[in-house]
Each structure stands twice: as structure tokens, then as C-alpha cells.
Amino acid sequence: MAPYTGIPLSPAELSYLHTSLSQHPPIRPDARSPTAFRPLIAETDILPAANGSARICFADGTEAIVGVKAEVEKTPSASSHSINSHSINGEVADEGVRGLGSGGVRDVEDDGMDVDGGEDGKQSSKGRDEWLEVAIDIPGMRDDDALPVFLSAMLTEALLADGALKDKLYINTRFHWRLYIDILLLSLPLSYPLPLLSLTTHLALLATRLPALVSEKDEDPLFNDDWEASTHLYPPTKDETARQKPPITLLVMSVGENILFDPSREELAVADAVVAISVTQSHTNTTGPDADADADADSPNPLHLIALRTIDPPSRLTAAGLPNSLNTSAGAGAGAASQSLSSVEVAVTREKDQGVSVWRPPRGGVKRAVLARMIKMVVQAGGVGEEVLGGLRGVEI
Amino acid sequence: MPLDTSTYALAHLRLDGRRWNELRRLHAQISTQAAADGSSYLEQGNTKVLCTVSGPQEQKGGRGGARDQGNEAKVDVEMNIAAFSGMDRKRRARSDKRVQEMQVTIASAFQSTLFTHLFPHSTITVTLHILSQDGSLLAACLNAATLALIDAGIPMSDYISSVTVASAPSSDQSLDEMDPLLDLNGLEEQELPFMTVGTCGRGPGGGEEKVMVLVMETKVQMARLEAMLSVGIDGCKQVRGILDGVVRSHGKRVLESKVS
Amino acid sequence: MPSEVTPSTNNHDFILTALRQNLRLDSRPLDTYRPIDLTFSSDPDTYGQTDVRIGKTRVLCNISCEVGAPYPDRKFDGVFTISCELGPMGSPAWEVGRQDQTEIILSRILEKTVRRSGALDTESLCIVAGQKCFHLRADIHILDHDGNVLDAACFALMAALLHFRRPDVSIEGEEVTVYSVREREPVKLTMTHHPFCITTSFYPSRQGSDDDLISVLDTTLQEEQCRTGSLTISLNRHGEVCNIAKYGGVGIEGLSVLTCVNASLEKAKMFDRLLKERLAEDEKARQAKIGAMGLELSAENERVMERPVG
């Protein structure tokens, strides 16, 4: 999937960029260090009607707003008796609301529930994947365009892989919260908007508060209507570093052996490989084998890799440069020479050039060693991941 | 209707403690987004609208050609109501008739106020993001669009300022009359018959404001229209003053930053 | 994409200059309608099918109903939908499946005028609360577009609603019986009031100035293309305004809005009278047809064999 097309750079410019980015150390167009991020403006709790909200504005003018809304929903119960009565009701209702959409969707979910309701293995995690919904709105694009669908899939994947979030939505055996994360990109996507959206979602989730529950156990849920008493979805702790946090997704690109963070639009145009890395802080309340591992670790909250996706770099769509020896318009002599070349010879000459003298879009994948270094740079203690989280800690919530 | 406005008759105060002719807090900023040609952010009470303008520019995409042959610029409005903007989460399809109607209204109101003849063969795109809604949506959108278009530097004859007016049972119960209420919030809008009035001034000394936009969708007695309309036009004048203040203070800031 | 033929500059200027001298191409005064013609289906079993012609503008409206389930959040209301069809038959500028501005405005204004103002009592369409109700559907087709489609469509819709009869039902316990037209006399719909749309168009009275405006009723297509603004008001004969719509266009003074409303009231009363007259005539004709010899004995050769496709 192409993030965007129409890169306004010539093969010569691309080649220049690529060369400067493959220096040691790399020279980036805006003179940043490889791990430096561009400055951003962030604020939270900007919307009165949402449970949590955040806005981030990048220096290049791209801006996103995220609103998180939670609704109480009935959990279809696992016991067979109530399933029967429920589905009968569902069918009757379905006739009336056909074409309304939401009613139909809910019924489909009910069917899914029946199947895995009997599974006892599910008991360890109380949450279900479908309790979380991420929707992305990008101006000028339809909702079913590839970019928003792909982005929301990636963000959902990271949030769910964490495991902690969906468990937080559990109220009791009969009810749960349904969390809607609506992401609004306000400007046209200049660079690949994934990190912007991920960071904004991160802040919005940190700011999300749910009304405090006053009912007990399996009663119909009753909430304290005092917003002051509401609880954070991710409760704040005295030591901010120890606070449990939603995952973040960073965009990392490589040029040759160099690894660059927070690539700009121009840099992406010459990337050899682009990878989206989602990391989260391991949390103390996880049960299972890795809880012990956490306790042994040096750092109080080492970062964990939870999702990794390679992204088709836009550089693949750029036009290749033409080696001078093949340039028919360069001069009479060269022209005469190239006309005598057969198409096979032309292809061979092009292949041999291999991007040595002119720009050629990258081919193939990323080296395993480079990928390993990328991940390491993000997750290691004092690495980029911690740096970003530290930076976001500065945002008042 | 459970949440009635009958208390208004007793205390002369509305649900949120305003008097009949009081506007809600109207706060606006312009030039909020660096990436757009013009932008504004407007809060009218709890209704929050973000507006960006791009253009005048050549029409993008494949559907150009036949359409931009005119010797006037075309105003295009895109409205996006965020799913989290209301009380309940609701995703609105882009083909929603109500939204499309508002788009048409805003586009055609500005089509006749902007000096479109100065930009032949081009398009001015106004994008409105509704972040939070609590009544007077169309009015807030018109006001936000005015500011963003001013920020974009597109010449226009005057501000379009807009406000809603309702007709409520009179505070004086001995009279069988109705009191007009200015600038409704979401609850009042659901209960009372109301209309959205948008006026355009006529420049300095140009005479009286003219009604550009007038949309009413609830049943009301003819006799009440006069009071509603005159209060509405008056409210628009107030809004225009506030918008003008925003533009002037922004201009001042820009000038000061240039000097230092 | 096809678009309407716009009048040439000469035509445009000619129409404007004429209007400034109180003249129209069809020699009507500025505030009168073209002859309005309303016909109902000639088949005595068909109700709710109207054909309205205002001058050359022609609108067909057909009402149909079936039994279905109500919306779960509105258990005591029936379902009423209005759908507008603007096809290439009406005007070459319209395409099937492509929404254009006329269609959005038309369907929104009809929606506001008839549905939101509660002209049709939807509660009367309820059969068993929360389970069964009538789904009423109004299909409006613009067959010929020569200006003022809005007023014509609204008139056609109101006429059709007033003419329509839904099948009678009886409820015994859980059993619901719907009777066909032959079994039991069908029932009229419950209408609370009869709103009509009146559109006023505005023209500048001097070149390049918006100060004084000429207001004109019932414009033809050519006149419509030359106007600088319009105001649509929906109201019933009691002066209850259900909808005012002025989407941009030239600015008008507050006072002239009120003048327009008053002028529109007269026209609404005119529409109302006309509709009542025509309904009464139609009723009489139907009675005569049935009353004389009974339907079975009728040997009319002109009987419609198939219902016209609406």
C-alpha cells in the first residue's frame, strides 16, 4: 500500500538526499541528529463531550485530534439459557432496524460471542477485542480508502496486543465499557501520519476518565455522577515513570546502515525500509511468566516490543534516474551509441549501474541486523522509546 | 417533554442562567493552523468548530475541466462532524442530508458575499471540523468560516455573522405572547421552535444589515416571526462586533511581531 | 457531466429588463402562479396517486404502504419516508444516482415541511405498539422541470397524502387482519394540518445594486436561472410557518422577509382551496362511478387495464 504518491523530487534530488543520509553520521535536511524528533505542540482534555481527548500539532503543520468516548454495553452472557432469549429478541429487533446498521452489527457480534463463550481459556483475560473501536477520519479520503483502514488496523493491533487495555473495560460479567477512539486528522497527510496519530491516541487515552462505579459485583452498573470522582483509565501514580501507559508506535526508517527516527516527508522518499514499531511499558500487574522477568530487570519499567510492521516505503514509487551512457538526448555521440543498443543491453547497463551513479528506487527488504538494531534502539534502557515517553510526560493532563 | 423551559417564565432565567438576549461565551482565534491558507477556531458555548480554508486554487482531481470554466471562483464546503462531538457517539455518513444541506447553505451564502469574480477558474475550499456540538451548529459554522476566509485574505463585502433565535413562552404570563431567546444551546434547541439567522453588514455607512441566511425548521405562528427576526438581526450585530474584535486583535498582534 | 443550458447574456438581460417593467415572458403579473392542474388516478381502486402540473413543470407523486415493524426507539409511530427521484426525464442536467444540489434541497425541504412539522400523524399508522405498523412511502418523480419544482412537489405530496387511503385493519388479541380494498372501505390518513411551499425569487431592480429587490412568484426555469436569490416558505392556511429556507443568495432586508411571509399566506390559502375543491370533485366522481350500477356491472371500455407505472 502506498502511503502517498506524487513525490515532488527529481531523481537527482533523491540521489543527493540518499547520499547525504547515508553518510556517517547522516546529514539530515533539517540538521537533526538521527534520533531527534521534530518539536510538537500537545494539549489534552480539550473536548467537553469526550471521556478523554488530545490534540497534537507537528512542526510541519500536520495536526490531529483524538476523542475517546466510552459507552456501557451489555455483555452477551455465556450461559446458554440467556443466549437463547437474547437472540430471539435480537431477531425481532433486527427486522425493524434493518438498514440502520448498528443494530445489525451488534447481532453479528452476538453470534461470535456464542462461539467463544464456551471457551474456558478466555477466562484469564476478561476483555474482548471488539470492545475497542478505532476510527480514522482523513480529509479528502473516504472511510473505506486504504490509508485510513490500514492505519486504524495498525493502531488497533498495537492497543490490543498490549492486553491491558481491553481488561480495563471489564465492568462485571454482564456489562462492559465499549471504547470508541475517533481520530481526526485535520490537515492533509504530509508525511506518513502514523506516529502523529499514535502519539495523540496515547495522550488521549492517558487523559481518559471513566465515571466511578458505585454498584457492586454483578448488579446493573451504577455510576457516580460526580466527574471529580471519576477514575483514570490509566491511573496516575506518584512516580510518573512507573505509571502504566498505553503503547506508542514509532516510525523508523533506514538508509543503508543508518537508522533515522521521525522521518520527514522528504526523507521517506529515499528510505530503504520503513518500519512501524509499537512498544509499551511492561506493567507490574501482568500475571504469567514474564512477570518474574520484569522483577529481575535493571530498569523499573523496561519497554517491550508488542507489534512490528514493515511499511512499503514511498521511495519504491519514485522514478529511477537514467545513467548518462543511456541518455539519448545528451549529445549526438551518445545518442548514436544508445540507439545501437538492444533493449537487453539497456536493461543490463541499468542493472549494472545499481544506483551507483544515478538514483534507483530501493529494492528488496531490510537486513535482519539493521532491523534488530532498530528494535534495540527503541526498547533499550535510555533508548528512543523512553525518551519519547519522557517527553510526553511533560504534557499536562 | 421532560426538560421544560417553564422555569424561564418564573425567574426570567434560562437553563444555563442567561437572560433572553444574552449570547453564550463566544471565543475565537484565527490563524490556528500553519498548514492552511486560512484557519480559525471558534467556540460558541460548548459548540466548537475548527475551520480551514484552502484556495483560491485550481480545482484538483479529475472532476475539473467542465466545472471551473466559470468566470467566478466556486466555493466548496466540506463539513465533518466528528463522531465524538455529540453526547452519544455517532458516526455521521458523509451523505447525510442534514449535513449536505448545511454545506449547501454555507457555500451559497459565501458565494454571494466573497468577491468571487476576482478569482476566475478557481475553487475556494472551506473545511469545517465540528469537534463538539451544543446547539447553534449552523450559526457557529458560518461565523467560523467568515473568520477563516478573512484569515485567508479573500476579499468579501462584509462579515457574515450568524446566530439562532427561539420563541419561548412569555415571562409575563398575563400576556399571551412569546419571548424571543437568543443563541440557543443544545437542550433549548430540542424544545423550542427556532431559526438560524445570518446577516451580512453593508460596510461602513452602507445601511442596514441584510439577511443572507434564514433557516427555520420548526412550526411557529406567523405573528411571532417579526420579534424573532428583529432579535436575531440584532444578535448578529453583536456577533459581528465580537468577530471584528478577534480580527482586529489578531491584526495588531501580527503588526507588533513584525515591528519587534 | 451534463449541466443545464444557461441562458445567454442577451436572454438574461432581456428577462431582467422586462421584470423591472413588471413584465414576464408569459404575460403573468409577478405574483401569480401559472395555471395549476391537479389530477388523480382514474382507477377507482387507486388512491394517493397525483399528477401536478404548474405550467410546464410536471410532478408525479405516488403513495404506497405496507405493514412492517416500527423503529425500536419509536414504538408508537408508524414509518413515513419521502423519496425524491430526479431523473434525466425531468431535466437533462439530472442523472440517476448522482445527487445534486436541487435534490438535496428538495428532499430536505419536503422533509421539514411535511414530516418535521407533523403534518401527518404518524401515531395513527401504528397497529400494535412496538411490533406492527404501516410503512408509508411517498415517491416523488419530477417528470418535467420548468422552474418552481419545490412548490409543485410539495403540492403534489400534500394532495397525494390527503387523497391516499390505507387498508383497514382489525385487531383481535394478537391477531391482526389487514383487509383489502374490496373487503372493507379503506381509511383516510390522519392529517393534522396542510402546509404548502411557496418560493419567492429575487431580482435586482437596478444594475449592480442589491438595495431594492423585485420579488417574483412561481418562476419558470429561465427566470430561475437569472435570479440572484430565493426564499422558500412553508406554511398552512392558519399562518403557521413550518419552514423558512433561505440558503445564501442575495441579502434581503428583515422587513421584506415578513412581507414575503404575508404574501405567501395568500398563496397557501389558494393552494388549500384548490386542493379541497379538486378532492371534493374526485370524491364525487368516484361515488358516481360506484354508486350508479356498482363496480362489477360497469362496462366501461376505457377501464385502465394495468395500473400506470409510478
Cβ-contact A270, A315 below 8 angstroms: yes
How many CB atoms lie under 10 A from the CB of residue A360? 22
Portion of chain C with pLDDT greater than 90, in percent: 42
Q: Would you state the pLDDT for residue C156?
A: 94
Taking an 8 Å cut-off on Cβ atoms, the answer to whether B217 and C116 are in contact is yes
Cβ-contact B77, B53 below 8 angstroms: no
Q: What is the mean pLDDT of residues B231-258?
A: 92
3-class DSSP assignment, residue B241: helix
Q: Which subunits sit against B, judged by 3+ Cβ pairs under 8 A?
A: A, C
Q: Which residue of C has its CA nearest to A97?
A: C71
Domain A12-78+118-321+359-393 annotated CATH 1.10.760.10: no
Residue A129 has pLDDT above 90, yes or no: no
Distance CA C75, CA C96 (A): 34
Angle at CA of residue B200, ends B195 and B201, nearest 5°: 130
Taking an 8 Å cut-off on Cβ atoms, the answer to whether A184 and B129 are in contact is yes
- Closest approach of C246 to chain B, Cα-based (Å): 5
Taking an 8 Å cut-off on Cβ atoms, the answer to whether B84 and A49 are in contact is yes
For chain B, positions 27-56, list CB contacts with chain A under 8 A.
33-36, 46, 48, 50, 52
Q: How many domains, chain C?
A: 1
Cβ-contact A153, A159 below 8 angstroms: no
Distance CA C229, CA C213 (A): 10
Q: Which residues of chain B are within 8 Å of residue C261 when distances are taken between CB atoms?
A: 222, 225
Q: Which residue of A has its CA nearest to B134?
A: A49
Prediction pTM value: 0.83
Residue B172 has pLDDT above 70, yes or no: no
Q: Which residue of B has its CA nearest to C261?
A: B222
Residue A53 has pLDDT above 60, yes or no: yes
- Closest approach of C71 to chain A, Cα-based (Å): 6
Q: Which subunits sit against A, judged by 3+ Cβ pairs under 8 A?
A: B, C
C58 domain residue, yes or no: yes
Nearest CB neighbour to B33, from listed A63, A135, A142: A63
Nearest in space to A42 (alpha carbons), one of A395, A287, A397, A384: A395
Cβ-contact B31, B82 below 8 angstroms: no
3-class DSSP assignment, residue A102: helix
Amino acid at B9: A
Taking an 8 Å cut-off on Cβ atoms, the answer to whether C71 and A97 are in contact is yes
Query: CB contact, 8 Å: C70 with chain A?
Result: yes
Nearest CB neighbour to B85, from listed A49, A186, A188: A49
The secondary structure of A291-307 as a DSSP string is HHHHHHSSSSS-EEEEE
pLDDT for B82-99, tens place per residue? Answer: 888 888 887 776 678 889
Q: What is the mean pLDDT of residues C201-210?
A: 80
Taking an 8 Å cut-off on Cβ atoms, the answer to whether B217 and C247 are in contact is no
Q: What is the mean pLDDT of residues B115-128?
A: 90
- Closest approach of C70 to chain A, Cα-based (Å): 6
Query: CB contact, 8 Å: C209 with chain B?
Result: no
Q: Which residue of B has its CA nearest to A67?
A: B84
Confidence band (pLDDT; 50, 70, 90) for B204?
low
For chain C, positions 262-291, list CB contacts with chain B under 8 A.
262, 265
Taking an 8 Å cut-off on Cβ atoms, the answer to whether B82 and A135 are in contact is no
- Closest approach of C235 to chain B, Cα-based (Å): 9
Query: CB contact, 8 Å: A72 with chain B?
Result: no
Show Cβ contacts of residue C278 under 8 Å, excluding neighbours closer than 6 positions. C38, C40, C159
For chain A, positions 118-177, list CB contacts with chain B under 8 A.
135, 137, 139, 142
Taking an 8 Å cut-off on Cβ atoms, the answer to whether C253 and B63 are in contact is no
Query: CB contact, 8 Å: A334 with chain B?
Result: no
- E-assigned strands of chain A? 40-44, 52-58, 63-74, 132-137, 175-185, 209-210, 231-232, 248-255, 258-261, 273-281, 303-311
Residue C141 has pLDDT above 80, yes or no: yes
Confidence band (pLDDT; 50, 70, 90) for C38?
very high
Residue A296 has pLDDT above 50, yes or no: no
Q: Which domain does C261 fall in, by range?
A: 9-293
Q: Would you state the pLDDT for residue A212?
A: 86
Q: Which residue of C has its CA nearest to A99?
A: C71
What are the domain boundaries of chain A?
12-78+118-321+359-393
Q: Which residues of chain A are within 8 Å of residue C68 when distances are taken between CB atoms?
A: 95-96
pLDDT for A304-331, tens place per residue? Answer: 888 888 888 878 877 777 777 766 655 5
Q: Give CA separation, B99 vs B199, B219, B245, in Å.
A: 21, 21, 30
Q: Which of A88, A89, A97 to mutate to test the interface with C (most CBs of C within 10 A)?
A: A97
The residue ranking higher by pLDDT, A292 or A24, is A24
Nearest CB neighbour to B213, from listed C239, C246, C265: C246
C261 domain residue, yes or no: yes
Q: Which cell numbers hold the place of C25? A: 415572458
C305 domain residue, yes or no: no
Confidence band (pLDDT; 50, 70, 90) for A73?
confident
Nearest CB neighbour to B210, from listed C107, C112, C253: C253
Taking an 8 Å cut-off on Cβ atoms, the answer to whether B84 and A68 are in contact is yes
| Residue C143 burial class via C-beta count within 10 angstroms: exposed 0-12, middle 13-18, buried 19 and up | middle
Q: Which cell numbers hold the place of A274? A: 520503513
pLDDT for C286-297, tens place per residue? Answer: 888 766 555 555
Helices B137-151 and B222-259: crossing angle in degrees, nearest 10, is 30
C38 domain residue, yes or no: yes
Distance CA B104, CA B125 (A): 13
Q: Which of A91, A92, A106 to mutate to test the interface with C (most CBs of C within 10 A)?
A: A92
> What are the structural domains, with CATH classification, of chain B?
6-61+70-259 (3.30.230.70)
* C-alpha distance across the termini of chain C, in Å: 27
ipTM summary value: 0.86
Taking an 8 Å cut-off on Cβ atoms, the answer to whether A97 and C68 are in contact is no
Confidence band (pLDDT; 50, 70, 90) for B105?
very high
The residue ranking higher by pLDDT, A238 or A56, is A56
Residue B155 has pLDDT above 90, yes or no: yes
3-class DSSP assignment, residue A140: coil
Taking an 8 Å cut-off on Cβ atoms, the answer to whether C72 and A95 are in contact is no
Q: Would you state the pLDDT for residue C173?
A: 80
Residue C310 has pLDDT above 60, yes or no: no
Q: Which cell numbers hold the place of C169? A: 385493519
The region of weakest confidence among A149-153, A218-222, B168-172, C212-216 is: B168-172
Q: Which cell numbers hold the place of C39? A: 389530477
Cβ-contact C127, C176 below 8 angstroms: yes
Distance CA A67, CA B8 (A): 34
Query: CB contact, 8 Å: B80 with chain A?
Result: yes
Q: Which residue of A has its CA nearest to C135?
A: A96
pLDDT for A213-256, tens place per residue? Answer: 888 777 788 888 888 888 888 887 777 667 788 888 998 999 88
Beta bridge partners of B221: C240
Q: Would you state the pLDDT for residue C265?
A: 93
- Closest approach of C9 to chain B, Cα-based (Å): 13
Residue A336 has pLDDT above 70, yes or no: no
Taking an 8 Å cut-off on Cβ atoms, the answer to whether B225 and C247 are in contact is no
Q: Would you state the pLDDT for residue A339?
A: 57
pLDDT for C42-81, tens place per residue? Answer: 877 788 899 999 999 999 999 999 998 988 888 888 899 9
Taking an 8 Å cut-off on Cβ atoms, the answer to whether B83 and A65 are in contact is no
Taking an 8 Å cut-off on Cβ atoms, the answer to whether B84 and A137 are in contact is no
Mean confidence (pLDDT) of chain C: 86
* C-alpha distance across the termini of chain A, in Å: 36
Label each residue of A209-270 as H, E or C: EECCECCCCCCCCCECCCHHHCEECCCCCCCHHHCCCCCEEEEEEEECCEEEECCCHHHHCC
Amino acid at A356: V
Cβ-contact B109, B76 below 8 angstroms: no
Distance CA C24, CA C45 (A): 42
C232 domain residue, yes or no: yes
Nearest CB neighbour to B216, from listed C3, C239, C243: C243
Q: Which residue of C has its CA nearest to B194?
A: C243
Q: Where are the alpha helices (DSSP H) in A9-97?
A: 11-21, 80-97
